[in-house]
Amino acid sequence: MERDAALAELKRHVKNKNLLKHMYACEAVMRRLARHFSEDENKWGLGGLLHDIDYDETKDDPVSHSMVGAEMLQQLGLPEDIVYAVKVHNDAHGLPRKSLMDKALYATDPVTGLIVAGALIRPEKKLAAVDISFLVNRFNEKSFARGANREQIASCSELGMELEDFLGLSLEAMQDISKELGL
């Protein structure tokens, strides 16, 4: 599936603009990670872009979230490795994350929220005003960006990455699409 077709499908199912921006951010981070690991950027990008395609439908049923999305992606004919990565980005199912893509999507999902929160507390309210040391300091503040699961972000170690490197690549990826994110 090409990005334009995936984006059209996504917009059919997701109406919340902030959720769409979250998925654009995840796509950018996943593409950057794919490049880092010499993996397929388009495939990883689609996983990031579509990982919450079912959220409007399942937001009140966290146990169904990602299972419904995985079914949707399967019906759209996406490759099984993308479908599985989407399925296992939700801990509720207790399924193992096996591939690099599975592990990357799991760590990427909450890191975008941490980075957005970092931009929003800066006077400029821009991603360009955020740097890695700022994020590392904020990462250790429990009251900052409470919804950004630190344990999940720290699972970047399963990718063989240090937290600082993961935050750096993620920030860089999001800064590259700052206009699309409105930050």
pLDDT tens figures, 164-175: 999 999 999 999
Distance from C-alpha of 124 to C-alpha of 64, rounded to nearest angstrom: 38
Q: What φ, ψ does residue 39 adopt, rounded to 5°?
A: -105, 180
CATH architecture label of 3-181: Orthogonal Bundle (1.10)
R_g of the chain computed on alpha carbons: 15
How does the average pLDDT of the chain come out, rounded?
Answer: 97
What pLDDT shows up at residue 142? Answer: 87
**25 has a pLDDT exceeding 90:** yes
**Which pLDDT tens digit goes with each residue over 78-114?**
999 999 999 999 999 999 999 999 999 999 999 999 9
Residue 152 and residue 105 in contact, taking contact as beta carbons nearer than 8 Å: no
Of the candidates 37, 52, 38, the residue with the CA atom closest to the CA atom of residue 6: 52
Find the mean pLDDT for residues 109-129.
97
CA angle 81, 82, 88 (to 5 degrees): 90
- Percent of the chain whose predicted confidence (pLDDT) is above 70: 100
Find the mean pLDDT for residues 127-146.
94
Q: Report residue 17 as tokens.
A: 């603009």
The 10 Å CB-count burial string (b at 16+, else e) for 63-93 is ebbbbbbbebbbeeebeebbbbbbbbbbeee
**Which pLDDT tens digit goes with each residue over 1-18?**
999 999 999 999 999 999
Find the mean pLDDT for residues 30-40.
98
Is pTM beyond 0.85? Reply is yes
**117 has a pLDDT exceeding 90:** yes
Residue 33 and residue 105 in contact, taking contact as beta carbons nearer than 8 Å: no
